[in-house]
Homo-oligomer: A and B are copies of this chain.
Amino acid sequence: VSAPAAVREPAWSPPHAAIGVGVLGATGYGGAELVRLLTTHPGAALLALGSRHQAGKPMARVWPSLPDLDLVLDDDPDDPGAWIDRGVAVVFSALPHGAFLARAAAFLDAGLRVVDLSSDFRLSTAEGVTYGLTEWCGTELDRARLVANPGCYATAVLLAILPAVTAGWWSGSPIIANALSGVSGAGRSPGLTTHFVECGNSAAPYRVGDEHAHLREIARALARVGQEGPVVFNPHLVPMARGILATVSIPLAAPVPLAAAQAHFATRYTGSAFVRVLDPGDLPETRHVRGSNRCDMALRLAAGGTVLLVFAAIDNLLKGAAGQAIQNWNRISGWPETTGLPVAGWSCA
């Protein structure tokens, strides 16, 4: 090639030897995204996949979008021995809620590192368990043996409210957190709720008020930073495949100028490759983070300056699930946080 060459920053190089990785519950949406991303992650050697219902089939048969993957699904193992023998050192679990709980001890005792995408350990206070909202984890994550990966809604809502409440701005009146989710958040098991003809052109609230499990996750995270108080959480299903948009109103104890709030949030997330505080006047949209591990957010004042509005958008399967799981693993492994993870989103989808 005789074309003139341009100067370019050298890319980060992975360690000579990648780490052996296995995925439990690999055939759901979260699992399949884990597999897709780990396949091209320079530090990962994807060695084992598990599935309850599809064991024995090649993964590429269950997910024809992954044709170059040469792995056959195992029955999700209760005992990690066989996977360890194959070289697995890290396990991502995308099993349904409740399914990993009983397996955890065996996996941890065998010396595996675990990132669990279910809700099983999100409220846990056990030694070695870390709630993996990456941007708020600090050094605790480095010591984690099991990372409880946050729920998709909780991720968006907490990234939106933590800078404000840790600054002492919250009056203590109810925070109202409304959120919209794409249908992949409801999982891959068919039901009338996710039937195209039922949900495909409609909007529906569900488990509103204080009924959704993610509200307890949010409350727990607030308690961890010493902030307790009423939060109302209203999730809605809207007809998009991916994405969460959180619209949160925080009653303020005292006036905060918008520029100061904007500066505070921007400072808090400086250095966070995956959180972007938008310019004043802009608002996040889920299409801008689709396919990306980013959270975009924006601020507004309302009700005469007595309420701070925060809007946050994520891809529920990436920053809300598989992406944050890998981000947490990158941090644990000492690699650059963005390794194997897209900052850019898809132009359209």
Give residues in A with beta carbon < 8 Å to B: 1, 3-8, 11, 15, 17-20, 29, 32-33, 36, 39-40, 42, 45, 47, 63-69, 87-90, 113, 173-174, 176, 178, 180, 182-184, 188, 190-192, 194-206, 208-210, 230-232, 234, 236, 238-243, 245, 247, 249, 251, 276, 282-292, 294, 296, 300-304, 306-307, 309, 311, 313, 317, 332-334, 342-349
Residues of B within 8 A of A242 (CB): 201, 348-349
Residues of B within 8 A of A285 (CB): 64, 202-205
| Residue pair B251, A174 in contact (C-beta under 8 Å) | yes
Q: Smallest Cβ distance from A157 to chain B, in angstroms?
A: 14
Residues of B within 8 A of A276 (CB): 67
User: Can you give 15 contacting A-B residue pairs, CB < 8 Å?
Assistant: A3-B20, A8-B18, A32-B348, A40-B342, A68-B344, A174-B307, A180-B180, A196-B239, A199-B287, A205-B283, A205-B284, A205-B285, A209-B301, A232-B249, A232-B302
| Residue pair A65, B183 in contact (C-beta under 8 Å) | no
Residues of B within 8 A of A67 (CB): 276, 294, 343-344
| Residue pair B204, A1 in contact (C-beta under 8 Å) | no
Given contacts A65-B289, A202-B285, 14 further A-B contacts (CB under 8 A): A1-B15, A1-B19, A4-B19, A32-B347, A64-B296, A68-B344, A174-B307, A190-B194, A196-B196, A200-B239, A201-B240, A210-B302, A210-B303, A238-B238
Q: Smallest Cβ distance from A45 to chain B, in angstroms?
A: 4
CA distance A343 to B15 in the complex (A): 24
| Residue pair B4, A64 in contact (C-beta under 8 Å) | no
Residues of B within 8 A of A294 (CB): 67
Q: Smallest Cβ distance from A274 to chain B, in angstroms?
A: 10
Partner of A180, one of B88, B173, B238, B300: B238
Q: Smallest Cβ distance from A326 to chain B, in angstroms?
A: 14
| Residue pair A290, B65 in contact (C-beta under 8 Å) | yes
CA distance A47 to B3 in the complex (A): 14
Partner of A230, one of B282, B291, B306: B306
| Residue pair A29, B197 in contact (C-beta under 8 Å) | yes
| Residue pair B3, A176 in contact (C-beta under 8 Å) | no
Residues of B within 8 A of A18 (CB): 5-6, 8
The 7 A-B residue pairs whose C-beta atoms are closest, nearest first, are A3-B89, A5-B17, A6-B20, A202-B287, A65-B345, A32-B347, A209-B302
| Residue pair A202, B243 in contact (C-beta under 8 Å) | yes
| Residue pair B287, A247 in contact (C-beta under 8 Å) | no
CA distance A5 to B45 in the complex (A): 9
| Residue pair B347, A346 in contact (C-beta under 8 Å) | no
| Residue pair A333, B19 in contact (C-beta under 8 Å) | no
CA distance A114 to B124 in the complex (A): 57
| Residue pair B200, A234 in contact (C-beta under 8 Å) | no
CA distance A1 to B276 in the complex (A): 30
CA distance A240 to B196 in the complex (A): 9
